[in-house]
Chain A
């Protein structure tokens, strides 16, 4: 029999949030270790904060012991999860061992061998439970150790991964030294988070939050010029070997003109060129680069989307983007997708962001994106840009740095794939 909790994902999240960011480690399950309170106590003693959950036909009732089973009186919070919602009441201090015996003085008793809980009328009322003769039969009982979601042990691990990533990026060199800096183009709908991503990357390397590039919300997009950004790491005098190129957002009728995309890709468009939605750049423009070299061309394209709105874009915009992608494929230009605002997903916590690609709602979003645009799942990255924070956060940094690493490694694949005469 498997040691898997009966709590649904939603119920687990609800309890996680209520008890202040806790993770629940299943220690005891009655159907596997037998319905006996000795077995429960045996596994749960001295485990720190503990939670016991019983499942009846219609609801889930639980007890949260902040100080766990330690051989002294502790305060207990009793709660119930029902279709109507979450309700709780506090009790104590109690000796937790008494909970497993039937006593007149007990408000709440768990009788495992009888597969029932006895709940006093007062508690029934507070939790809105229905019980016949104060007895509720139960089908299962589970006990959990409660741990901090993002405790010191984990933060230490994250710090190590963070510095490894930063080092990997510092060691990055364009493939074969074919160019000094690889050029990455950010394309995407208006407001997707392209300029915010550039700000975020700059912030991570600088070591503090910077808002050099103007961002905001406007129907027509904030960035109106083509900008190419070089980034310096904190203590270095030389810029890092990549350039992020920010463009006007794509819109159905407004926004970046499709022909402008090609001029940018081939390397004709100069830095600070002012876009015109109606007219693409022409070779008459004063700073138009007539014979672009490999270093002027784009080596990797990143399609940036807001994770919350890619599913509701108009079909015209979707068709426009798919056409651009088909043309990129035709010309052998490698590209990835970057979904922003992942931290705004419902119920997501910082800890979920440390293993973001295994988090169910993110997996569903990736599948949905694959369904709309046809990108391979491993070509879709997620990130959370720095928008209103005052300080850097290692978890966010990691997502930003790993996305950047994938992007730069992909640019290297493009350089490696070039025919030798180019």
Chain B
């Protein structure tokens, strides 16, 4: 005899990925083992987190993930549950719902209650009927009648998952939330349409993740991994040219109203890496796309100092100081001095600025479980305190991401951080544009919106 899961291999992979790269091990199968609740629960109450899967007719699969141990016979306990439904003929369509529920095990029945009444009841002895309530049915986009016969019931142990209810909630709602952020960003328009595209400059030490951030933003908008900017590690900066990248939206194919400007990395030495004196030229918009940086010498602008400065649309509207979170605390004094000098230039030009910390390892812990704010563990990190001190950046503008440089597929949580960071950058840019507008006309001089 052989015990093989009815859940297909691909469906198993989809569920594993949704739970954050967990792994599923089949423990119980109703057709191979005895069809009774006491059997089901007695065995599996000490196995840790489980996923109970019901294969219904019409090729629909409904699953309940329970974070805590499966309750024992004749007991009732509150559990963190996540519900899933997969439709067989639509292989990529998976709906997920997160609920805090109570699981009751009776001798005949397995009942799962949610706050607004019965969610699911399984009575194997009475021909294994399953009843789901409306909240669950709507949340999972199921179109079934009430009370139907599951063809099979399987229980899997789930390994490799973080045992925190907030983590589960985040994993299950990540894709949905990411979609909302994406829609909001798609609808973004620069402040009072003063410019058609907002320009965000990325500066930072060599290897901090500037080019990777651009690749990550593009990947998140296009829905698949991209590598337009060359990245990697070398003794000196990989990026040697000034690049102004625009991004097309994956769905509408329209160019999005922001541009990311990538620069050469900063090095400690005097004639190495990005020349500090190039920064004011970049900020004012004098440096053309694909300009080859010279570490020893800043560019000589084509315009003479008395001629008109470039229009608002060519200037930088927001600067992001990109720093690898793992090396923030060990930055040399020279590097910090360079960053402070750049910040001074940025402030003098009236441009908005944020800090972007990259290579965050526990990136699922950056935001709270409703993705609204950064968690306290993260805001109290020493790196955040240091950046706030050196560059005088408010904590709300110290952003965190984990770039795509070693992944081979998108992760919804990473996308959320990327979108959230971009949103703050656009807000800072809008604030800068608003300030430009408020300047008396004599001072704006040639800041014609054009």
Contact = CB atoms under 8 A, between A and B. Distances in A.
B48 A3 contact: yes
Contact of A334 (B91, B225, B230): B230
B2 A48 contact: yes
B406 A377 contact: yes
A24 to B, nearest CB: 10
Interface stretch (A121-129, A239-247, A273-281, A413-421): A413-421
A357 interface: yes
B68 to A, nearest CB: 14
Nearest to A67: B1
A78 B215 CA distance: 54
A70 B32 CA distance: 11
A33 interface: yes
Contacts of A330: 240
A25 B4 contact: no
Nearest to A329: B230
Interface stretch (A146-154, A179-187, A261-269): A146-154
A52 interface: no
A42 to B, nearest CB: 5
Contact of B3 (A43, A48, A375, A410): A48
Interface string A367-395: 00010001111110000000000000000
A378 B226 CA distance: 10
A378 B407 contact: yes
Nearest to B48: A3
Given A3-B47, A376-B406, A413 B228 contact: yes
Contact of A68 (B1, B44, B48): B1
B179 to A, nearest CB: 23
Contacts of B233: 370, 374, 376
B409 to A, nearest CB: 10
Given A25-B26, A42-B43, A157-B8, A379 B240 contact: no
Given A329-B240, A376-B405, A419 B290 contact: yes
Contact of B1 (A48, A156, A329, A334): A48
Contacts of B157: 3
B408 A376 contact: no
A26 B33 CA distance: 17
Interface string B397-416: 00000001111100000000
B362 interface: no
A33 B26 contact: no
A332 B33 CA distance: 61
Which of B290, B406, B407 is packed against the most chain A CB atoms within 10 Å?
B406
Given A42-B43, A334-B227, A26 B406 contact: no
B1 A70 contact: yes
A4 interface: yes
A153 B226 CA distance: 32
Interface in A11-67: 25-27, 32-34, 39, 42-43, 45-49, 67
A117 B232 CA distance: 54
Contacts of A157: 8-10, 13
Nearest to A417: B228
A43 B32 CA distance: 13
Contacts of B4: 147, 151-153
A419 B288 CA distance: 12
A50 to B, nearest CB: 10
A326 interface: yes
A47 B230 contact: no
A287 to B, nearest CB: 32
A330 B48 CA distance: 53
B208 to A, nearest CB: 14
Contacts of A419: 289-290
A330 B290 CA distance: 11
Interface residues of A, number: 51
Nearest to B42: A42
B164 to A, nearest CB: 15
B89 to A, nearest CB: 13
A379 B2 contact: no
Given A329-B240, A330-B240, A378-B407, A46 B232 contact: no
Contacts of B406: 376-378
A347 interface: no
Contacts of A27: 25, 27
B25 A26 contact: yes
A153 B32 contact: no
A157 B13 CA distance: 10
A26 B32 CA distance: 18
Interface in A138-182: 145, 147, 151-154, 156-158, 160-161
Given A3-B157, A157-B10, A410-B227, A43 B43 contact: yes
A70 B241 CA distance: 70
Interface in B204-232: 212, 224-228, 230-232
Which of A4, A34, A154 is packed against the most chain B CB atoms within 10 Å?
A154
A43 B27 contact: yes
A32 B3 contact: no
B65 to A, nearest CB: 16
B5 interface: yes
Which of B25, B91, B230 is packed against the most chain A CB atoms within 10 Å?
B230
Which of B25, B224, B407 is packed against the most chain A CB atoms within 10 Å?
B25
Given A153-B5, A154-B9, 20 more contacts: A3-B157, A25-B25, A25-B26, A33-B46, A45-B33, A46-B3, A145-B26, A147-B4, A156-B9, A157-B13, A158-B9, A160-B91, A329-B232, A357-B408, A370-B233, A376-B405, A377-B406, A378-B404, A378-B405, A379-B232
13 contacts: A2-B159, A25-B25, A32-B46, A33-B47, A67-B1, A152-B4, A156-B8, A157-B9, A161-B10, A329-B232, A370-B233, A410-B227, A413-B228
Interface of A: 2-4, 25-27, 32-34, 39, 42-43, 45-49, 67-68, 70, 145, 147, 151-154, 156-158, 160-161, 326, 329-330, 332, 334-335, 357, 370, 374-379, 409-410, 413, 416-417, 419
Closest 9 CB pairs of A and B: A157-B9, A377-B406, A413-B228, A374-B233, A48-B3, A25-B25, A374-B232, A48-B2, A157-B10
